[in-house]
């Protein structure tokens, strides 16, 4: 038995209307300092440089994922009736805490720390005294179960990981709707209510009834459009390119005795040693932004210039990545005395609307047909079937300062 809060807590949310909390352990996790830290990390990295209202945080997204999971386990009859209370609380907490290890600036930061946010997340859940204490106080072994669901290691019931991360999971459903709302791009919208109504469980798989296929098609298209309109926007990638170059510069300067770190905030990050959790905790977007602001008056010309580009949105220009463009740009960088190690970047992205990998149940969307068979989505939908046959769309770019043109 898990303790309930004295009265149900509700938090207003523009995507879901309300987030409902009635388990004490969920409420305590929300009030923990690691969870509150997510207020200081934007959901979309550099996308706010393109969409000026894309300032929403990982805090809001995490609550949204929790709310979708909560609705799934309380409103979908097959889940409501088959999961135990402990499994329900475990998967709700996994939804709430799935991004707890996220560093600043979305995924751009992971290349600097060399660790994924999932790795940090599991460490925080297992090692942070406060969070670990909250979970273990509610139920012995809960911290391990929650971390296992997040890292796909939970073997006791495969449904729990499917709810959090599959092709049609609470995480993606929340971020698509939330990112569409906060960027103002209508493409990301889809019919969440219809999907929730048509989800069932068959053979230990989350499946969607055939009558929900149109809602799922709509979701696949929403996802595809959001990738090109928002997640892969070249201007956001330009911001992330400069960010990476700035950290590279700081790393290279560590061996330079004449350089004194102007801020001290990044010393641990760019140093040789692994970051401790405490050091990682302090690196949120507010401290980073403060450091960049100070670095604009720093001693190293390159670090200073890159910091001022980040602060003032003086971003790199971009062109298609072709051998001809690359050669020309590198020549111009040389003429302008720009060090290509810090002033030239490449970034290739590719996206296919839907790639069913049938050998891994988590990588496909399964449809429960009217006759009782379970079909993979591409076999049940003409639209999705034709999408899987199409070309993969690539977008390969080079980035460089616009002044050299
Ligand atoms: Ni997420």
Distance 253 CA to ligand 1 centre (A): 34
Q: Are 387 and 268 a contacting pair, CB within 8 Å?
A: no
- Kindly list the structural domains of the chain, giving each domain's residue range(s) and its CATH number in brackets, ordered by start: 4-184 (1.10.3210.10), 234-350+396-404 (1.20.1250.30)
Q: H or E element: which one contains 319?
A: strand 317-320
Res 182 pLDDT > 60 = yes
Using CA atoms, how far apart are residues 326 and 350, in angstroms rounded to an integer?
20
What region, left, alpha or beta, does residue 256 occupy, with left being phi > 0 and alpha being psi -120 to 50 degrees? beta
Residue 61 CA to ligand 1 centre (angstroms): 7
**pLDDT single digits (tens) 191-239:** 999 999 999 999 899 999 999 999 999 999 999 899 999 999 999 999 9
Find the 398 Cα to ligand 1 centroid distance in Å.
28
Q: Which residue has the higher pLDDT, 13 or 261?
A: 13
Residues 89, 220: Cα–Cα separation, whole Å:
29
Q: Measure 163 CA to ligand 1 centroid, in angstroms.
A: 12
CB 297 within 8 A of CB 304: yes
pTM (2 decimals)? 0.95
Tokens 């760019």 belong to which residue?
270
Beta partners for residue 398, in sequence order: 319, 346
Cα dihedral sign for 80, 64, 12, 227? Answer: negative
For range 250-276, the mean pLDDT: 77
Q: Among 99-103, 105-109, 295-299, 312-316, whose mean pLDDT is lowest?
A: 105-109
Better-predicted residue by pLDDT, 3 or 115? 3
Quick one: average pLDDT of 47-66? 97
Query: Which residues have C-beta under 5 Å from ligand 1, the single-atom ion?
Result: 99, 171
Q: What is the pLDDT of residue 260?
A: 55
pLDDT of residue 32: 98
pLDDT winner (highest mean) among 19-28, 225-234, 256-265? 19-28
Q: How far is ligand 1, taken at its centre, from the CA of residue 294, in Å? A: 31
CA of 81 to the centre of ligand 1 (A): 27
Tokens 């429960």 -> residue: 368
Is residue 8 over pLDDT 90? yes
CA distance 217 to 225: 12
């Amino acid at each position: 038995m898990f303790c309930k809060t004295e009265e149900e807590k509700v938090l207003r949310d523009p995507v879901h209307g309300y987030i409902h909390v009635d388990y004490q352990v969920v409420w305590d996790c929300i009030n923990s300092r690691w969870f509150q830290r997510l207020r200081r990390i934007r959901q979309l990295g550099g996308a706010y440089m393109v969409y000026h209202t894309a300032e929403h945080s990982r805090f809001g997204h995490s609550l949204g994922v929790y709310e979708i999971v909560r609705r799934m386990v309380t409103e979908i009859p097959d889940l409501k009736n088959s999961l135990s209370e402990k499994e329900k609380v475990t998967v709700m907490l996994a939804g709430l805490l799935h991004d707890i290890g996220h560093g600043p600036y979305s995924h751009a930061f992971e290349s600097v720390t060399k660790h994924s946010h999932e790795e940090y997340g599991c460490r925080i859940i297992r090692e942070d005294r406060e969070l670990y204490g909250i979970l273990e106080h509610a139920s012995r072994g809960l911290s391990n179960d929650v971390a296992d669901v997040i890292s796909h290691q939970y073997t006791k019931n495969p449904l729990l990981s499917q709810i959090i991360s599959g092709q049609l999971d609470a995480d993606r459903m929340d971020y698509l709707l939330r990112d569409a709302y906060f960027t103002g791009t209508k493409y990301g919208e889809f019919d969440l209510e219809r999907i929730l109504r048509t989800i069932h469980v068959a053979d230990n798989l989350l499946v969607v009834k055939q009558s929900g296929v149109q809602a799922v098609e709509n979701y696949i298209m929403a996802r595809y459009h959001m990738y090109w309109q928002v997640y892969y926007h070249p201007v956001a990638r330009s911001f992330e390119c400069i960010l990476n170059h700035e950290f590279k510069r700081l790393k290279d300067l560590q061996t330079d005795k004449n350089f004194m770190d102007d801020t001290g905030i990044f010393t641990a990050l760019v140093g040789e040693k692994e970051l401790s959790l405490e050091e990682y905790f302090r690196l949120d977007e507010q401290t980073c932004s403060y450091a960049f602001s100070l670095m604009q008056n720093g001693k190293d010309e390159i670090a200073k210039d890159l910091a001022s580009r980040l602060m003032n949105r003086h971003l790199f220009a971009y062109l298609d990545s072709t051998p001809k463009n690359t050669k020309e740009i590198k020549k111009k960088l040389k003429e302008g005395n720009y060090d290509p190690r810090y002033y030239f970047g490449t970034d290739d992205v590719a996206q296919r609307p839907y790639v069913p990998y049938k050998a891994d149940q988590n990588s496909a969307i399964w449809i429960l047909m009217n006759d009782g068979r379970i079909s993979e989505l591409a076999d049940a939908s003409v639209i999705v079937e034709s999408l899987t046959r199409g070309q993969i769309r690539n977008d390969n770019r080079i980035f460089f300062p616009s002044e050299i043109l």
